[in-house]
Chain A
Amino acid sequence: MTLRPFGAISRRGVLKLALGAGGVVAGGVGGVFALRGSAPTVEGLAVLSAHEYRTMAALASAAFPDGTLPAGSPSLDLARAFDTYLADEPRWAQDEAKQALFLLELGPLVFERRLATFSHLSPAERVAHFEGWARSSSELRRQVATGFRKFLCLLFYDQPAAWTLFGYPGPMISGGAP
């Protein structure tokens, strides 16, 4: 559910939030981009840029690190699944998702005044930072956190490899035990 995660986010809202956080973005765009660094090229992306893909992958890998699923499970690239999903969304939804990823990437700098961007945090720091968004007094940050969390969890827990972690026998229609 809630695969269209960012229905509430307007460009104006994102900019307002960023500017309201001390003008870090507006005042130092060049420095921000330098800090963000380059992102490895990712083949076959439909909507996300390499930087946006990297942010989403950083969030996904912090939430569900390698080794979460049993050994030998098929790999699930949640960031690419997000890109695939977005490809069939309206343009406004794509734009809002991209803005949300941009803001999340700059989150440590804008909201914690750290000289780091989200993808460069350790996995534990990423989870902690994301939790901060979920509990933020800013409605927009909570909305972004809600959208990403629902998307990632729905896809992660819907895969058969995950079911073995909590004893779900699978849907009966597909052969799951009664």
Chain B
Amino acid sequence: MSGSITHCAEVAPPAELTVDCCVVGSGSGGATAAWELAKAGREVLVLEEGGDFTGPKLTGRDGAMYDQLYMDRGGRTTSDLSISVLQGRVLGGGGVINACDVVPISDAVARHWQKKYGLTDFGPEQLEPFRARALEDLSANTPDESQLNRNNRLLRQGAEALGWKGEVMLHNRVGCVGSATCLIGCGFDAKRNPRFVAIPGALAAGARFFTRARVTRIDDAGQELKRLTVRRLDAKGYHEGDAFTVKARTVILAANAIASAQLLLRSGLGNEHVGRHLSLQPQLPVTVRFDDEVRFFRGIPQAYAVTEFEQHEHPEHGWWGFRIEAIAGTPGIVGSLLPELGAPGLERMRDYGKLAASLLLLPDAPQGRVRVEPSGRLRIDYALDEEQKGRFRDAVRAAARAYFAAGAKEIYVPTVPPLRLSSEAELPKVDSLTFAPATAPFLSAHQQGTVRFSPGEKDGGAAPDGRVYGTKGVYVFDSSGFPSSASSHTMAPIITVSRMLTQRLLAG
């Protein structure tokens, strides 16, 4: 039996339908769960708020693509506007708009989860077959030397000159043409993401997908049949239309750590841990000017990472320290991250072809919180603490040293006011970075932990099998359950954990 994709903006679903399993979210967690469930013969309906974008519909233009592929039209932020929270809203989820980096959960992190959080069933041995299968799903491979653009090679050159460790990360591109628009979707369909692997697999096994379908509430969570209120959205996903009802025996939330918690909170489900323990894994971009052309706007944007400063066995946090990863951006996003408006910003943009760039990526403690205000509005609270600010300053110094070793003329930290460094002798200037709210363009691409897995209800929002405490048959199979940062790139970890939990659900 073959499944289907119904675009609810165009075709009205029945006012009420009953299914065995309803999956909320079609990204790495949701699509993987849907695939496994459908293969096992379960009747599966997947509800996705975003639209279906593949091929030339992914135009490579910032304005339209951030508007259509990201939650809140690309405008989601923490409540103090300090951190842009990048969350996919499209069939296939975050895999459609990520940089294709594949970094599995390390054994050390798995052991940390066992030891600190009591997740005895998440050990390296239990995870291993699912990690391997995730790599297979993603066609994980190492970019060859010819695919590394100058932006990535310059960072590597600097790191090697200083004797630092680094790696070319695995990625899930096949047939990449080097368009470098990964963060706003690949118009050449060269990403082996859920849209091209798990979703076709689930469809072939009979799963149904509804796009432009926003779940606004779950009721009867303690009953055999849970009742989901779903709103159709218009073609661009801006406005809610008619409601319809889905009744399901099993509900799997896989809408990302923000939206899964938001839905539970809106529905009054779960315990006091729901929404807490949010990890945003904040990232700070820095740009670097060279004398000659870098052309970071072509080729693979994010392939090389300096790993010298990361630890995997920090006793308190598991994965810790920081990474420096090369990155590139299209003009709209680069321009919007620069702190200067008008002529000074334009002067900076005139160097666009000579710029290199990196993201300074920090694992964090689960210190943030998702709330839903009485008005129904989402609120994401997260404050950088002094320890993180210090680590960010360390990361800026390290990135500057690497780039100066590679011949950079100027390091530019896009804070307000911007910090410019023209030699290593100026590194003490980094001490002036305060990172006060709304003075630095922090990003979060890997939200985790708002319904964390725990063997006891007093320490987490969901049991180790993913079941949300206080419910019967409502599960979280996404990064909401991760008790600490799983990895620098969460796509592979989410696929790993979702498949493991789905198979345990089917076996149970």
Q: Mark A139-178, 1 if CB is under 8 A from B, else 0.
A: 1001101110111111111100011011111111110101
Contact A63 to B76, CB < 8 A, known contacts A142-B416, A167-B352:
no
How far is A79 from B35 in the complex, measured between Cα atoms in Å? 46
Q: How far is the CB of A79 from chain B (nearest CB, A)?
A: 15
Chain B residues lying within 8 Å of A170, measured Cβ to Cβ, are 60
Q: Which of B43-51, B126-134, B175-183, B311-319 contacts A (4 or more CB under 8 A)?
A: B175-183
CB neighbours of A149 from chain B (8 A): 336, 339, 341
Given contacts A7-B79, A171-B59, A174-B59, A166 and B84 within 8 Å (CB-CB): no
> Residue of B at shortest CB range from A173?
B187
Question: What residue in chain A is nearest B237 (Cβ atoms)?
Answer: A88
CB-CB under 8 A from B298, the residues of chain A are: 172, 178
- From A1, A64, A146, A151, B438 is in contact (CB under 8 Å) with A146
B140–chain A nearest beta-carbon distance, Å = 24
Residue in contact with B331 in the complex, picked from A2, A166, A172, A178, CB distance below 8 Å: A166
Q: Would A68 and B346 count as touching, CB distance under 8 A?
A: yes
- Asked if A8 meets B341 with Cβ closer than 8 Å, knowing A142-B439, A168-B352, the reply is no
1/0 per residue, CB under 8 A from B, across A115-152: the answer is 00000000000010011001100010011011101111
The interface bits of chain B over 147-158 (1 if a CB of A lies within 8 angstroms of the residue's CB, else 0) are 000000000000
- Given A4-B76, A8-B77, A152-B341: A168 and B84 interface contact (C-beta under 8 Å): no
Alpha-carbon distance A170/B179, docked complex (angstroms): 10
Give the residues in chain A near B336, CB-CB below 8 Å: 1-2, 149-151, 153-154, 157
A156 touching B335, Cβ below 8 Å: yes
Is the Cβ of A172 less than 8 Å from the Cβ of B341? no
Least distance between B280 CB and chain A CB atoms (Å):
15
CA distance A68 to B335 in the complex (A): 15
**A3 proximal to B (CB < 8 A):** yes
Chain B residues numbered 461-483 whose CB sits less than 8 Å from any CB in chain A: none
Contacts of A135 in B (CB 8 A): 416-417
Binds A, one of B67-75, B197-205, B264-272, B405-413: B67-75
Whether, in the assembled complex, A5 has its beta carbon less than 8 Å from a beta carbon of chain B, the answer is yes
A1 to B68, CA, bound (A): 11
CA–CA, A127 and B179, complex, Å: 35
Q: When the two chains form their complex, are residues B177 and A88 in contact, meaning their CB atoms are under 8 A apart?
A: no
Whether a CB of chain A sits under 8 angstroms from the CB of B332 is yes
Q: Mark B304-348, 1 if CB is under 8 A from A, else 0.
A: 000000000000000000000000001111111111011101100
* Chain A residues whose C-beta falls within 8 Å of the C-beta of B334 in the assembled complex: 157
A62 at interface, CB cutoff 8 A: yes
Consensus secondary structure, chain A interface? helix
Assembly CA distance A172 to B59 (angstroms): 9
A92 at the interface (CB under 8 A from B): yes
Chain A residues with Cβ below 8 Å from B103 are none
Contact residues of B: prevailing secondary structure: loop
The interface size of chain A toward B, counting residues with CB under 8 Å, comes to 49
Residues of B within 8 A of A5 (CB): 75
Whether B75 and A172, one on each chain, are in contact in the complex, defined by CB atoms closer than 8 angstroms, is: no
A162 surroundings in chain B (CB, below 8 A): 331
Contact partners of A171 in chain B: CB under 8 A: 59-61, 179, 181, 187, 330
- With contacts A63-B341, A178-B298 known, is A172 near B179, CB below 8 A? yes
Distance in angstroms between the alpha carbons of A8 and B80 in the assembled complex: 6
Which residues of B sit under 8 angstroms from A168, Cβ to Cβ? 297, 331, 352-353
Type the 1/0 row for B349-389, where 1 means its CB is closer than 8 Å to any CB of A: 11111000000000000000000000101000000000000
Q: Is the CB of B59 within 8 A of A173?
A: yes
Q: Which of B74, B81, B350 contacts A1 (CB 8 A)?
A: B74
Whether the pair B74, A158 counts as a contact (CB closer than 8 A) is no
**Contact, CB under 8 Å: A1 / B297:** no
Residues on A with C-beta less than 8 A from B84 are 1-2
Chain B residues near A8 (CB, 8 Å)?
Answer: 77, 79-81
CB pair A127 B342 closer than 8 Å = yes
Q: Counting chain B CB atoms within 10 Å of each CB, which of A131, A147, A172 scores highest?
A: A172
Of all chain A residues, the one with the shortest Cβ separation from B332 is: A158
0/1 per residue, B237-270, Cβ < 8 Å to A? Answer: 0110000000000000000000000000000000
Type the 1/0 row for B61-94, where 1 means its CB is closer than 8 Å to any CB of A. Answer: 1110011001011111101110010100000000
Interface residues on B, range: 35 or more
CB pair A127 B341 closer than 8 Å: yes
Does the CB pair A154–B335 fall under 8 Å? yes
CA distance A168 to B437 in the complex (A): 32
Q: Which residues of chain B are near A155, meaning CB under 8 Å?
A: 63, 332
- Docked pose: A151 CA to B77 CA in angstroms: 14
Give bound CA distance, A145 to B441, whole Å: 13
The answer to whether A88 touches B239, judged by C-beta atoms less than 8 angstroms apart, is yes
Nearest CB in chain B: distance from A97 CB, A: 11
B177 touches A139 (CB 8 A): no
Residues of A within 8 A of B61 (CB): 158, 171, 174
Distance in Å: Cβ of A105 to nearest Cβ of chain B: 17
Q: Which residues of chain B are near A151, meaning CB under 8 Å? A: 336
Task: Report the nearest B residue to A1, measured CB to CB.
Answer: B74
Are A2 and B75 touching (Cβ within 8 A)? yes
Given the known interface contacts A154-B66, A157-B334, the answer about A3 and B73 at a Cβ–Cβ threshold of 8 Å is: yes
With beta carbons under 8 angstroms apart, the residue of A88, A152, A173 that contacts B60 is A173
Closest B residue to A162 using CB positions? B331
Q: Are A163 and B438 in contact (CB under 8 A)?
A: no
Chain A, residue nearest B355 (CB): A166
Taking the complex as formed, is B236 at the interface, i.e. its CB lies under 8 A from any CB of chain A?
A: yes
Chain B min CB distance to A78 (Å): 11
Residue numbers in B under 8 Å from A157 (CB-CB): 62, 331-332, 334-336, 349
> Which B residues are closer than 8 A to A by beta carbons?
56, 58-63, 66-67, 70, 72-77, 79-81, 84, 86, 177-179, 181, 187-188, 236, 238-239, 297-298, 330-339, 341-343, 345-346, 349-353, 375, 377, 416-417, 436-439
List 8 A-B pairs, minimum CB-CB distance, nearest first.
Answer: A171-B60, A4-B75, A173-B187, A157-B335, A158-B332, A142-B438, A88-B238, A166-B352
